[in-house]
Structure 1
Amino acid sequence: MEEKETLYGKNPAELTALCAESGLPRFAARQIARWLYVRHTEDPLRMTDLPTAARERLAEQFAPALHAPERVSVSADGTKKYLYRTLRGHFIESAYIPDGDRATLCVSSQAGCRMGCRFCATGRQGLQHSLTAAEILNQIVSLPERDRLTNLVFMGMGEPLDNTDNVLRALEILTSEWGFGWSPTRITVSTAGVVPQLERFLRETKVHLAVSLHNPFHEERMEIMPVERAWPIAEVASILRRHDFTHQRRVSFEYIVMEGRNDSPRHIRELTRLLNGIKCR
């Protein structure tokens, strides 16, 4: 049996095409977008400013995408981990992290991950599948603490730039005035350095970037991050050095200190050399 598409996750261009197919005027696309991303209502039968026949047709054509988490676990510091079942039956996690007057949600972009980083439990699972834009956004929409969120980070399961189309679609919906209306400065996307998609990401979004670095030496980084074999960190740094980070957008580098492995003076010197010319933190 063929799976139905979901309405949630479509942008105005796709909704406009859908309206044309359904005999609805072009402005109905904005109405649908408002129901989906401002009111967070994906049931067409509740979209009361659309004709009844169109609502019924859309309800028949599209499957629901939004759902509550399967389970939540709470840590002593208030951090909450939410477990979701994807539309394909795999499990993903997101983490809600309160910190005073700030609250950050760490979202997943894939079920599993193909990057194989040695220090990452998700990397040992292998890739099960990439999440749709709706599955990414569901982690935000279904969050009980949604209205308290100040920041969003794509640092959960998966490599965001290995699921570029769906991550960019989710970011478009999050930051557009017809969508969630979030400022891009509230969002950070982390990557191990998928070079073929990095320039597209920098060109098409205004959100912050975090690069998972962890070792500045090619051979040593390759031992803990196999992605280094295909896309060396020096190549990533070269791309970032050419990009303008002088405005509100920023780039940061993530570095897990591993005693005796990446914390020597020579690592510090090489980090300084590698990141020279990049305005970063």
Structure 2
Amino acid sequence: MASSSSLPPSRRSVFDAAYIRAEFAAAGISPHFIPLIWKYVLQNPRCGDLDGVTSLPAAAYALLRQKFRPITSTLTTAAESRDGTTTKLLIRLQNGESIEAVVMRYDTRLGKYDGKPRLGGVRSTLCVSSQVGCKMGCRFCATGTMGFKSNLSSGEIVEQLVHATRYSQIRNVVFMGMGEPLNNYTALVEAIQVLTGSPFQLSPKRITVSTVGIIHSINKFNNDLPNINLAVSLHAPDQDIRCHIMPAARAFPLAKLMNSLQSYQNER
């Protein structure tokens, strides 16, 4: 089996949903085979090729070899916290840049509810990145000091979950890592649609997208991503203070942002 690092870098992630669907359609291959491919990679995250996927048409194997890679990113480091509750993943992208994703674990049995021990067990949340760097320039944020470098593809977003499943069964996903998710809107929507479909089957109610308040994207969020949670970081209740903390806030006045959020809430 060839290692993924030996494959041409021009090949795309199989999790780039729009691209693989378009290529399958052009080749006359049913899109119903795509979740089967995703399931294979999810169960075999270190696979170097896709020859092990069963029951595909012969034309699909040829297309996959020519244009796709099972995983385009590489997990380079996994750092565990001393108490074992978090695992920070350093992931190297195909273009040589690196991003971080963090697995966070919480034992729901801790504490009591109504005076009685809680039921449940350990649940894991994955914090994912959507960009390399960020153009928002928030003064308190380490990523903001990097400036903006590139958007992640939908496949690179999904691959963070694939890497994380090697360490924990992920129940929740939060877009609170590197980058402003709503500045990479198309890839964000596509990635979430993959995560809520087969084989990942994450509940929309367990996915949260955090934003500093990109108004034009908030205005279409409900329509494109129904039942997905939206979290907004205002940073301050005053527009002048917001602009001092986050210079990009000048483009998103607080009054207009609040109107947008009210409309968003009314549509829920």
TM-score, scaled to structure 1: 0.78
Structure 2: state its 5+ residue gaps.
Answer: 1-7, 108-121
After TM superposition, list the pairs within 5 Å mapping 1:216-231 onto structure 2.
216-231=237-252
Say if 1:39 and 1:135 are closer, same or farther in 2 by CA, change over 3 A: closer
Matched position secondary structure for 2:148? strand
Say if 1:179 and 1:172 are closer, same or farther in 2 by CA, change over 3 A: farther
- Alignment partner for residue 253 of structure 2, among 229, 232, 237? 232
* 2:3 matched residue in structure 1: none
Is the contact between residue 38 and residue 180 of structure 1 (CA under 8 Å) also seen in structure 2?
Answer: no
Q: Does 1:202 align with 2:222?
A: yes
CA distance in 2, matches of 1:85, 1:202: 32
Is the contact between residue 208 and residue 230 of structure 2 (CA under 8 Å) also seen in structure 1?
Answer: yes
The CA deviation at 1:73 is 1.5
| 2:90 partner letter | L
Q: Does 1:61 align with 2:63?
A: no
| 1:34 partner letter | L
After TM superposition, list the pairs within 5 Å mapping 1:1-281 onto structure 2.
3-11=10-18, 15-24=20-29, 26=30, 29-37=31-39, 40=42, 43-78=49-84, 79-100=86-107, 101-145=122-166, 147-176=168-197, 178-205=198-225, 206-244=227-265
RMSD: 2.3
| Count of residues paired in the alignment | 241
* More strand, by proportion: 2
Is the contact between residue 90 and residue 100 of structure 2 (CA under 8 Å) also seen in structure 1?
Answer: yes
The CA deviation at 1:117 is 0.2
The CA deviation at 1:95 is 1.0
Is the contact between residue 218 and residue 261 of structure 2 (CA under 8 Å) also seen in structure 1?
Answer: no
Say if 1:39 and 1:245 are closer, same or farther in 2 by CA, change over 3 A: farther
Is the contact between residue 91 and residue 111 of structure 1 (CA under 8 Å) also seen in structure 2?
Answer: yes
Q: List per-residue Cα deviations over 1:200-256 (Å, max 9, x = no partner).
A: 222211211110112010111100011210002322211111234696xxxxxxxxx
Matched position secondary structure for 1:216? coil
Is the contact between residue 242 and residue 249 of structure 2 (CA under 8 Å) also seen in structure 1?
Answer: yes
Matched position secondary structure for 1:69? strand
Task: Give percent identity, aligned residues only.
Answer: 37
* 1:263 matched residue in structure 2: none
Structure 1: state its 5+ residue gaps.
Answer: 248-281
Shifted more, 57-66 versus 222-231: the winner is 57-66
The CA deviation at 1:90 is 0.7
Say if 1:61 and 1:146 are closer, same or farther in 2 by CA, change over 3 A: same
CA distance in 1, matches of 2:20, 2:165: 28
Say if 1:127 and 1:225 are closer, same or farther in 2 by CA, change over 3 A: same
